[in-house]
Amino acid sequence: MHPANRHNANFVYEDNTLRYILTPEGRALPDGNGGFEYQYFLKDHLGNTRVTFDQTGTVLQEDSYYPFGMAQSGFAYQSGTSYKNKYLYNGEELQDDFGLGWYDYHARFYDPALEHWYVVDPKAELVRRWNQLSNFIQESISTDEDKNKE
């Protein structure tokens, strides 16, 4: 059974015990002695976390992705750390409960294996040109050939 996780802004608790604090550069984990162990997230140009390393420069975790966010398992690395970094694709939290592997985008969940959102955007009715299950405005595609047809 999974421990109960709770988020309070950037503070993440597990069974009512502070597990870590998220920062813009990574996270700080309590070390048990009143201090913190700092871990940093090295991200690519899309905001995907590629490498997690500690304050001494030791690589703790390395992640690679297919174009729509599914993890490339053959190119991943994780050291013997006790708490895996789950803030991966686009910097969003991977929800691995029940083996689903969905990313939590706060308003809805995204499945990288199917490249699909599982709920309608709660504000979709505000912009009618949006496809409710995507992130993009629906634009009609036209070419010069279409303009020349009569």
**pTM of this prediction?**
0.73
- Taking only the tens place, the pLDDT of each residue in 121-150 is 777 777 666 555 555 555 555 555 555 555
Collect all residues with Cβ–Cβ distance below 8 Å to 85 and sequence separation of at least 6: 27, 39, 41, 49, 52, 60, 61
| 109, two tokens | 């969940």
Lowest model confidence (mean pLDDT) among 54-58, 74-78, 80-84, 112-116: 80-84
- Taking only the tens place, the pLDDT of each residue in 82-116 is 678 899 999 999 988 888 899 998 888 899 988 88
Residue 39: is its pLDDT beyond 90? yes
Q: What is the average pLDDT score of the chain?
A: 82
Of 31, 25, 75, the C-alpha closest to 53 is 25
The whole-number pLDDT of residue 74 equals: 79
The whole-number pLDDT of residue 35 equals: 94
Residue 22: is its pLDDT beyond 60? yes
pLDDT confidence tier of residue 65, bands split at 50, 70 and 90? very high
